[in-house]
Amino acid sequence: MHQLNYRNAPPRVEPPQSIRYDAPPNEYRDLAPMPTIRSFLEQQETAPSLIHLFEELSSACQDIASRLQNAHNTNSTGVVENTNVQGEQQKKMDVISNDIIKQKLLALEAVKGIASEEEEHPVAGHSNGEYYVLFDPLDGSSNLDINVSVGTIFSIIKAKPEEDASDEQAYLKPGHEQCAAGYFLYGPSTQLVFTTGSGTHQFSLNTDSGEFELTRENILIPNSTQEFAINMSNQRFWETAVQEYIQDLLLGEEGPIQKRFNMRWIASMVAEVHRILTRGGVFMYPKDSRAPEKPGKLRLMYEGNPMAFVVEQAQGRCSNARNNVLDIKPSHIHERVAIFLGSKEEVDRAELYHKKK
Ligand code: AHM
Ligand code: MG
C-alpha cells in the first residue's frame, strides 16, 4: 500500500520570466495513489462540510463535462428562446449546467443559498446551512458551437444564521470574505483550479478512475510577462488610459515599456485565466462606452471575485484599474466590474496609466 506522500514532492520552481509555451510538469504523476480533492483538503485541515461541498460540486461539474462532450450529438448546442436576467441570449448548455449545479447544491445541508449568473434572484437552501455558493454555470458559452474551451466559475462565502438567503443583501460581501473560489475548465481535459486561502492548486479529472487528482500545487504566476489579452475590437470604446496603455504594449521594444508583447483572445475567461496561471500574462476586460451605465462586461460576484481570489493566491493581482477587486463592496448581485488580472507588473502598470489620468 503506497502512502500519500505528495508533501515530499520536489519544491515547485518558479517558471522563467519569459513567455513559456509548455505546461509545468506534473510532479505527482509517479505517486500512487495521487492526491484527490478529499485527501488534499484533509491535509489542509479544511472543514468537513466544505470538503463535502467541493466533492458534490465536482461531481456536478463532471456531469457537465460529459454532457459537453456529447453536446453536438444530443442537439444541446445553440440557444434557447428566452434571454437571461441580464438580457443576454442563453445557450441550451447554460440552462442545463445551471440546473445541474443548482440541484446538486440545494440538496446539501451545508448550503444556505445559491446565486447564479443565470438566475434573477438568489435561491434559499437549508436554513441552517453554513455557505452561500455563487456561480457562473457555463462561462464563455458563446464558444460552445465552435468546440472551444468553456468553464464553470464558483465563489463560496460563509453565511450567518440570521441572514435571509433569498435576499440578495446576504450575498453582497466583498471578495476578500470568500472562503473558497475556483473554476472548472472543460477543455481537452477537465480541470479544477481552486483556492481555500492557502495557495492555488490544480486538479485534473482522470476519466479512468472518475477522480480529480492533484496535478499542480501552489501555482505561481510570474511577476512579469510579455503576453496580454484584450478584445481589441472594442478599442474605440475604451477610456483614454486603456487606449494609451495598449498602444504602449503594441509599440514593444520601441515604446516606453521596451518589451515585445504577444496577444491572445480566446473569449473564454476561464481559459484565459488558466493560460495566465500556466505561463503568466495579463487579461483585461475594461469599462467601455458601449453600455456607459455598466462598469465593465464581466460580473463581480460570479467572475471578478472568484478569479481575483485564485489569482492573488497565485501571487498575481486583480484590479478594476483603480482598486483591488477583492476590496469592492458590491451593491448588486449581478453587478459588473472592469477587470485587469494576472502578472503583477502589468496590472500595476495598467493602474498607473489610470492614475495619471
Ligand atoms: P458569459 O458569462 O456571458 O459567457 O460572458 C463572459 C465572457 C468571458 O468568458 C470572456 O472573457 C468574455 O465574455 C468574452 O467577451 P467578448 O464577447 O467581448 O469577446
Ligand atoms: Mg460568464
Q: CA–CA separation, 335 vs 169, rounded Å? A: 13
Task: State if residue 141 touches ligand 1 by the CB under 6 angstroms criterion.
Answer: yes
More confident residue, 83 or 261: 261
Tell me the average pLDDT of the chain: 92
Is the pLDDT at 261 greater than 60? The verdict is yes
Structure confidence at residue 79 (pLDDT) = 84
What are the residues facing 183 on neighbouring strands?
Answer: 153, 193
Q: Model's pTM, two decimal places?
A: 0.91
pLDDT at 30: 62
| Distance between Cα 152 and ligand 2 center (Å) | 8
Dihedral sign (CA 163, 164, 165, 168): negative
What spacing in Å lies between the alpha carbon of 138 and ligand 2's midpoint? 7
Whether residue 267 has its Cβ less than 6 Å from ligand 1:
yes
Enter the C-alpha cell of residue 73.
450529438
- Quote the CA–CA distance of 62 and 37 in Å, as a whole number: 13
Q: Is the pLDDT of residue 191 over 80?
A: yes
Band of pLDDT at residue 4, cut at 50, 70 and 90: very low
In this structure, of 5-9, 82-86, 229-233, the range with the lowest mean pLDDT score is: 5-9
Query: Environment class of residue 17 by beta-carbon count within 10 Å: exposed (0-12), middle (13-18) or buried (19+)?
Result: middle
> In this model, does residue 353 exceed pLDDT 60?
yes
Beta strands in the chain (DSSP E): 79-83, 89-91, 111-116, 123-124, 131-139, 150-158, 178-186, 190-195, 200-206, 211-216, 227-229, 262-263, 282-285, 298-299, 317-319, 336-337, 339-342
pLDDT digits over 110-163, tens only? Answer: 999 999 999 999 999 999 999 999 999 999 999 999 999 999 999 999 999 999
What band does 167 get if pLDDT is binned at 50, 70 and 90? very high
- Please tell me the residue having the least CA distance from ligand 1 atom 16: 267
For residue 123, what are the β-bridge partners?
A: 114
Bridge partner list, 204: 191, 213
CA–centroid distance, residue 59 to ligand 2 (Å): 20
> Please, which pLDDT band fits residue 301 given cuts at 50, 70 and 90?
very high
Q: What is the pLDDT of residue 26?
A: 65
Distance from C-alpha of 27 to C-alpha of 25, rounded to nearest angstrom: 6
**Nearest listed ligand to the Cα of residue 264:** 1
Phi-psi bin for 281: left (phi > 0), alpha (psi -120 to 50), beta? Answer: left
Measuring CA to CA, which residue among 264, 204, 68, 232 is closest to residue 149?
Answer: 68
Per-residue pLDDT at 20 exceeds 90: no
Closest residue by Cα to atom 17, ligand 1, is: 267
Reading phi first (left if > 0) and then psi (alpha if -120 to 50, else beta), residue 10 is in beta
| Ligand 1 pocket check for 116: Cβ under 6 Å | no
How far does residue 140's CA lie from ligand 1's centre (Å)?
Answer: 5
- In the chain, the largest separation of any two C-alpha atoms, in whole Å, equals 63
Q: Which ligand neighbours the alpha carbon of 89 most closely?
A: 1
Which residues have C-beta within 8 Å of that of residue 148, sequence separation ≥ 6? Answer: 140, 266, 267, 268, 271
The cell numbers describing 347, all together, are: 496590472
Residues within 5 A (CB) of ion ligand 2: 136, 139
